[in-house]
Structure 1
Amino acid sequence: IISKDLPQAFQLLREMNESVQQVTQLVDNMLARVKRGEISTDKGLSFLEMKYHMLLSYLINLTYVVLRKCSGKMIEGDPAIGKSLNRLVEIRTVLEKMRPIDHKLKHQIDKLVKTAATGPTGGSDPTHFRAHPENMISKVDDSEESESDGEDDKADNKQDKMKKGVYVPPKLAAVHYDGDESWLEKQQRALERARKRALGSSVMQELQEEYFDRPSEVSHRDVAKATLAQQHRHKEEYEESYFTRLPTTKQEHHRGRKITTLGTLGDELTRFGDFRALEGG
């Protein structure tokens, strides 16, 4: 097996030698241009500078590990190899954590590189059409305002924008297409939804706990509060993963106020649900 792999190994070594020579020549030419002042390295992005230093350190440690492996010596238990491997794992972890920041800076980096290569661009340059993070700030006021006031404000803002000539796109929500379904399929789907609502009601859950032999579950949180807590948890995980702050919509603001008040208590006590969907089952 070794004799069969030798020609391929020698071919790979020759290709690596040629690639190393090309890279060395490019680096020497770039260093010479920097020393002559043809390339300015001032006022650069510190994020890219740190990233390049870490990539260079990663390649140095990786080359050292490969060199020790090719020498035919045992690397197990070698403290120098252990330090290099720990450093490789550390750099790899940091580079993976830097990906969200790198993605956020991609627009700025592409714009600077294009400006440095071709000079200033005009107003029709596609890189100018970018998102405005300042528009994502929540406009919800902390004061106690009703939903009707919020709808009136939205209508007034829309009319003001239309008067100023600003295009306001219509707010269209995705709707399930049921044009291919027959009348019987629609009735069955509606009956299934009604059956699920009836089975999930608080009265039905109490009857199941009373007459079934399974152990009852004791919880100090209702379904609405548990759902709200789960939504907050998902939102926090998204913000921590992508280093961004999601705005709080007016619907979320009012939903949280309704759950924390006694407005739903009377509805839970007086509304027992529609159980007609269970008669056929």
Structure 2
Amino acid sequence: MQKDTEEFLRNIRELRGKINDVKQQISTITKNDQLKTINGVSLLDVKNIGLLQYITNLAFLIHIKLDGKPLSEHSVVMNLVELRVVLEKIKPIEQKLKYQIDKLIRTAKFGENTETERATAKAAMIDPLSFKPNPDNFVAGTEESKNDVTDDSQGVYKAPKLAPVHFEEDKGNLSKREKERARALVRASKSRLMKDIITEYDDRPEEVAIIGASQESIAQLDDKDKQKIAERERYEEENFMRLVLPKKELKRMKASTVRELENEFENLNDFSNLANIHEDIRPSDVNVLARRKRRDKMANDEEMDEDADELTQQSRRKMENNKRHELFDGLLTDPNKIKKRRTKFETLKRRMKRQKR
């Protein structure tokens, strides 16, 4: 209690000192006849009056509490609430008029040095909207802008200088790309080739085909069909007996096996879903493979050239031998009966076909 009393007395002394300072400032203003606010901003007058009334009512409220009287007999609380609401509503309006108030304070502080400022201040009293920024008061254009004007007058087009801005893609396109990528990953994971790779290199037990269909064909079934198959398997394992399937079910399972075999042939060249795996190969590995392929190709080309040269030599020998026999016999062979010899291109083509086989 003693600490609170000392603090209260200290605040009272500070308040009295500040009140004396305010009295001195007001007295100097009244002597210089500077209290005329007719030509000022009326909003500030309302704010000053409201704030003064709020402080007065607040002091009266403190006086009532110190006397120990009940607050229900006085309307000071409602007056304080009303004044507080008025002061809160003034804040956004004052923020909108901040530019106008700052300009008037700057004019009053530094004085009106130019005729334009005097005209602006005079027009502001008539039209408050004249306090908005005026683009004409900006710095005059540089020589480049003048040259641009001359070029425009001459009819030469000059592209405008635009600041580079980062392009932000539409979120819809991004989500669409992500969905397509996810679908591609799912397709790749379900491909036959990927399953074979997983079966070969994975440590988990290998999945084997069940009665009438494989795991792949079961994966294509609905949840209802999978549930039926699971129930049938459970019943057969518990009772140690096979259930006789109806004809419709047998036909359906037969169709699924046929479809599975068709998919086996379709997936022989299914490498499209594994394109991303090829991108993960290191550049060094790719270069090694490329060099190996190039070396093998060069070796094959050299062998084919040697074979072609050998074939041409053999054909020349045969032609010379035939000519010798014809000269020796003294007879001319029938041109229609002479067999047409293969060209070098046809021989090489035939040899390549044999190698492919």
Please give the range of the TM-score, normalised by the shorter of the 2 chains: 0.3 to 0.5
Q: Which protein has the larger Cα radius of gyration, Structure 1 or Structure 2? A: 2
Alignment TM-score, normalising by the size of structure 1 = 0.43
- Return the TM-score normalized by structure 2: 0.35
Q: Which has the higher helix share?
A: 2
